[in-house]
A = this chain, B = another copy of it.
Amino acid sequence: MSEQLTLQDYVAQAAAKVEGALREAVPALWDVPPKLREAMDYSLRAGGKRLRPVLVMAAAEAVRGQEKDAEASLSIACAIELVHTYSLIHDDLPAMDDDDFRRGKPTNHKVFGEAMAILAGDALLTHAFYLVTEGQKHGIDPGVLLSVSSDLARYAGAAGMVGGQAADIMGEQGLTSASELEYIHLHKTSDLIVFSVTAGAKVGGADGKQLDALALYGRNLGLAFQIQDDILDLIGDEAKLGKKTKSDVEQGKVTYPYLIGLDESRSLVEKLTLGAKEAVREAGLASPSRLLGIADYLMRRDH
């Protein structure tokens, strides 16, 4: 399909495949307490850009230019969306960011209560690792899947996303430098994006050099994405974003625009995006165009 579609249609089509697969992510036959299943589904179906799973599929296809690699990577694509979703549920908890709304809907704990929200997050995180093993059904080599599972645990865990979140919490008690802020964003945001592109690329049979280049792409893309988020929080359109703007300022959060100014933040987003595209161009991928397009698309987004 890939080559004939505009980027927007390509992303929409990949995201639709993910939506479909997510609806069946937890097998219907499994004996899950109905309320728990409902709480998991509530946040899984709350939408969002499905950026991470789309990146898994795009990276898988990019390596050899084979659409079947993107198909094979679908359960890993769902896995990373489950991890992302669990992290949002736990981040929104009263003990963490204490948010009442997410994507224009009440947060998980506002609907299901704190205890069930904690458990729904735990269950989504756990199930992500099940979905990685499901890659076997799509013919992915067990050694590759183990490597993907190891990566997921590392990028999502204490030295990855959870570490970034912990640093963020500690930082709220007196964060000042741009390097501290970068540490937080590299882990809170970039790590899952690095995972997404490298895991997809592993399914596509990427070599070490290609994986390094894609890791750099993911790192830059993640940082650019986060800075763009900070910018949109400051000057974005509430209707398009589905959430209130200026929340960072109200909460006294240290952001890139706060630290280095709005113009400097914008040019940093541009610089990081260029770096990401450069890395992909030099990686020797059979079809890099979608990954290049996604980088531009994210830089220009208004929500």
Residues in chain A within 8 A of chain B (CB atoms): 26, 30-33, 35-37, 40, 86, 90, 93, 95-96, 113-116, 118-119, 121-123, 125-130, 132-134, 136, 142-143, 145-147, 149-150, 152-154, 156-159, 162-163, 165-167, 169-170
30 contacts across the A-B interface (CB closer than 8 A) = A26-B159, A31-B163, A32-B159, A33-B166, A37-B158, A40-B158, A90-B118, A90-B122, A95-B113, A95-B114, A115-B169, A116-B169, A118-B118, A119-B162, A119-B169, A122-B122, A122-B162, A123-B157, A123-B162, A125-B125, A125-B126, A126-B158, A129-B152, A130-B153, A130-B154, A130-B157, A132-B149, A142-B145, A145-B146, A146-B149
Inter-subunit contact B146/A126 (CB<8 Å): no
A150 to B130, CA, bound (A): 5
A36 to B184, CA, bound (A): 14
On chain B, the residues within 8 Å of A118 by CB distance are: 90, 93, 95-96, 118
A174 to B40, CA, bound (A): 23
- CB of A250, distance to nearest CB on chain B (Å): 19
On chain B, the residues within 8 Å of A158 by CB distance are: 26, 30, 32, 36-37, 40, 123, 126-127
Assembly of this chain: how many copies? 2
On chain B, the residues within 8 Å of A153 by CB distance are: 126-130, 133
**Cβ-defined partner of A146 (8 Å) among B35, B114, B128, B146:** B146
- CB of A169, distance to nearest CB on chain B (Å): 5
On chain B, the residues within 8 Å of A35 by CB distance are: 166, 170
Nearest 3 interchain pairs by C-beta: A130-B153, A95-B114, A126-B157
